[in-house]
Amino acid sequence: GFLTGRLMDNEAVVEAIFVKEKFRSSGIGASLLDSFTKRLETACSKNFFIAVPAENIKSMNFFISRGFILESSTINLRRKQI
């Protein structure tokens, strides 16, 4: 699995976190997130964000169970090419 993220102006963003399906629910995602979080504490990060698609309930529950809270909901609109 992998996690990519960035720290900018004391705000951390998880850009992507992925674990192969056959290895999910084995603690790998939690370990990746914990490792990233520890690095952020060292860098004195004040805020920590991640965007999760509303239909991805499993991912939302994963982050909520680790202390994240739902801050807002967003609807993305796309216009088809004419």
pLDDT per residue, tens digit, the chain (82 aa), is 999 998 888 888 899 999 999 999 999 999 999 999 888 877 777 788 888 888 889 999 999 999 888 887 766 677 787 6
Decide the pairing of beta strands 2-8 and 47-50.
Answer: unpaired
For position 49, what pLDDT does the model report?
A: 86
pTM above the 0.75 mark?
Answer: yes
For position 31, what pLDDT does the model report?
A: 96
Asked whether 32 and 24 are in contact (CB, 8 A), the reply is no
Q: 17: alpha, beta or left, given left = phi > 0 and alpha = psi -120 to 50?
A: beta
For position 82, what pLDDT does the model report?
A: 67
For position 43, what pLDDT does the model report?
A: 76
